[in-house]
Structure 1
Amino acid sequence: MKKRLTGIVSALAIAVGGSFAAAAPAQAATPAVMITKVYYNSPGSDTGSNTSLNAEYVQLTNKRSTSINLKYWTLRDKSSHIYKFTTNWYLKAGASVVIHTGKGTNTSSNLYWGSGAYIWNNTGDAAYLRNAAGTGIDSCSWGSSGSYTSC
């Protein structure tokens, strides 16, 4: 009986124009919003200044064809420093926003964490993006060499 079923399955596969092969695993979908760059080792010698803090940043990019409301989304590091979008904040289709570590005036393309200390470790760290439900959307990690990483 087993031999007969194998023959029937093979004949059926040929009849529908295919071969008897396993399907390839599905690719993971591109996240709606991706961490596209992290500049974790700000340049210059004025360490600790607001200018230096703001040269440390994370860039997020909307990969969809519609705007996405980031209200209640969070960006965090391994030490649980958390940046939270507390109000309606729409990232336009295909657009990017840079979240700087230091203080500044928010615009449509630059947001400011307001921290007086560095967030992203030069010796290696990770950035995690979660949606309003707390579901992980994207992450990016790096080691101890360089100043930035493209994710």
Structure 2
Amino acid sequence: MHSRTAIAAVTAALVTCGLTALAAPSQAAEYSSALKLYGVQYDAPGTDSNRCSGGNTKDEYLTIKNYSRGTTVNLKGYFVKDATGNRFTFTRNHTLQPGDHIKLRGGNGTDSDANNVVYRNNCNFIWNNPGDTIYFYKPSGPRADVHSYTKAGSDPDGNGYVRFHG
């Protein structure tokens, strides 16, 4: 979030100097996807327990939204990872209509387009409670979106949820 402020300041300085062509590609490449990270429930309610039976990893989730006004997007091949390299790849077809979203949940469960949910089928937590960076990539490799959060700086109400895009 601070990086956006820095990017805006650098972009403004470059525009003043007449160097806009240098600033546009890096910023445009990062956010050129219709799919973006909407928000993350990085701290599952209750005491963290990654037991597959009775644990609460399913209550930790990442929401991805299709911000396009007219394009349906298939998530197959997209992947997310955290700052330490934990990774999840969407291996099945999951289509998002314009304005639609999907929750990528921890734990085990049955994926459902109708219920807008995909399970990682892994009972370990992926997002770190004190803070993390979430990277979201297109199947072809370029970054679709990226966001960092900290519990202290990004979650003023302390509910374990951070929203990135409106």
TM-score (norm 1): 0.77
Structure 1 residue 66: deviation in Å?
Answer: 1.6
Which residue of 36, 41, 44 corresponds with 2:43? 41
Code of the residue aligned with 1:101 in structure 2: it is G
Answer yes or no: is 1:131 the counterpart of 2:138: yes
Q: Secondary structure of the equivalent of 1:132?
A: coil
Runs of 4+ in 1 over 6 A off after TM superposition: 21-24
Residue 88 of structure 2 is aligned to residue 86 of structure 1? no
Instruction: Tell me the distance in 2 between the aligned counterparts of 1:22 and 1:122.
Output: 41
Tell me if the contact between 2:32 and 2:144 (Cα under 8 Å) persists in the aligned partners: no
Secondary structure, counterpart of 2:151 in structure 1: coil
How has the CA–CA distance of structure 1 residues 71 and 46 changed in structure 2, closer, same or farther, with 3 Å as cutoff? closer
Q: Which 10-residue stretch deviates more, 138-147 or 48-57? A: 48-57
Alpha-carbon distance between aligned partners in 1 of 2:132 and 2:48, rounded to the nearest angstrom? 22
Q: Percent identity?
A: 29
Structure 1 residues 46 and 137 mapped into 2: Cα distance closer, same or farther (>3 Å)?
A: closer
Q: Counting helix residues as a fraction of each chain, which structure ranks higher?
A: 2
Q: Which residue of 2 aligns with 1:102?
A: 107
Query: Which 10-residue stretch deviates more, 47-56 or 91-100?
Result: 47-56
Unaligned 5+ segments in structure 1 are 1-20
Structure 2: runs of 5+ lacking an equivalent: 1-15, 153-157
Paired residue for 1:142?
149
Q: For 1:7-65, what per-residue CA distance to the aligned partner results, in whole angstroms no more than 9, with x for missing partners?
A: xxxxxxxxxxxxxx988956846631010111101111362245510110100000112
Deviations 1:56-81 (A, max 9, x none): 01000001122111221101111111
Q: Is the 8 A contact 2:48 2:57 kept in 1?
A: no
Counterpart of 1:45, as a letter, is: T
Residues 1:114 and 2:121 aligned together: yes
Q: Distance in 1 between matches of 2:96 and 2:84?
A: 26
How well do the aligned residues superpose, as a CA RMSD in angstroms?
Answer: 2.2
Secondary structure of the structure 2 residue equivalent to 1:93: coil
Cross-structure match for 2:60: 56
Could you say what secondary structure the match of 2:39 adopts?
A: strand
1:80-124 deviation line (CA, Å, top 9, x unaligned): 111111133211111000000111111110110011211100011
